[in-house]
Amino acid sequence: MIGSIISALIIGAIIGALARLILPGRQHISWALTIIVGIVAALIGTLIAHWLGFANTRGIDWWEHILQLVLAIIGVGAVAARRPTSG
């Protein structure tokens, strides 16, 4: 159980960082908020993948990770759009 939580945190942080790098332009949110959005996207993506039946495959769960990344891109974009720019 602890290993799963740590794994979700690490994958979520990576997914959030990738989402921020993929989005064009500058996002006016902190890296901590980006990581939190990535973690939430990873958890929701895993739930959706389980629901659709492709969460547990042999090897790397590519489709699950792609789903998580898409959700993180949407999440980072939505959070960045709601944050006022400074300057």
- Specify if 50 maps to a domain: yes
- Specify if 42 maps to a domain: yes
User: How many whole angstroms separate alpha carbon 1 and alpha carbon 86?
Assistant: 41
Instruction: Say if CB 19 and CB 37 are below 8 A apart.
Output: yes
pLDDT tens digits along 13-41? 999 999 999 988 888 888 899 999 999 99
- Specify if 9 maps to a domain: no
User: How many whole angstroms separate alpha carbon 36 and alpha carbon 17?
Assistant: 10
Question: In this structure, what DSSP letter does residue 1 have?
Answer: -
Q: Which domain holds residue 67?
A: 29-81
Total number of domains constituting the chain: 1
Residue 87 has pLDDT above 60, yes or no: no
pLDDT tens digits along 39-75? 999 989 988 988 988 767 777 778 888 999 999 999 9
- Specify if 38 maps to a domain: yes
Q: What is the 3-state secondary structure (H, E, C) of 16-54?
A: HHHHHHHCCCCCCCCHHHHHHHHHHHHHHHHHHHHHHCC
